[in-house]
Amino acid sequence: MSRICDLTGKKALAGNNVSHSNHKTKRRFHVNLQEKRFFIPETGEWIRLKVSTSAIRTINKIGITEALNRVFKKGSI
């Protein structure tokens, strides 16, 4: 199961852990993903998406239908 947002396409970034002695080791910055159900009123059905918290805020602002239309139109929000 991949850790990629279904709407925005966000995925993990790579970076460094930096110690007090400035020693660097690789690490990953994972996306804050939540599995959430959304109700689509036009079709009357529920869908389950794995979305980032920023995508949830966008859905709250513009609605799930508009968010899905933007994804299918150009690939991401």
CA atoms within 13 A on the CB side of 40: 13
Length of the chain: 77
Predicted pLDDT at 8: 93
Residue 33 identity (one-letter amino acid): L
Whether the predicted model's global pTM rises above the 0.85 cut = no
Q: Would you state the CATH architecture of domain 13-74?
A: Roll (2.30)
State how far the Cα of 77 lies from the Cα of 18, in Å rounded to an integer.
33
Q: What are the residue ranges spanned by the domains of the chain?
A: 13-74
List the chain pLDDT tens, one digit each, 77 residues: 689 999 999 999 999 999 999 999 999 999 999 999 999 999 999 999 999 999 999 999 999 999 999 988 865 56
SS3 70: helix
Predicted pLDDT at 1: 64
Predicted pLDDT at 76: 56
Predicted pLDDT at 77: 60
Predicted pLDDT at 72: 85
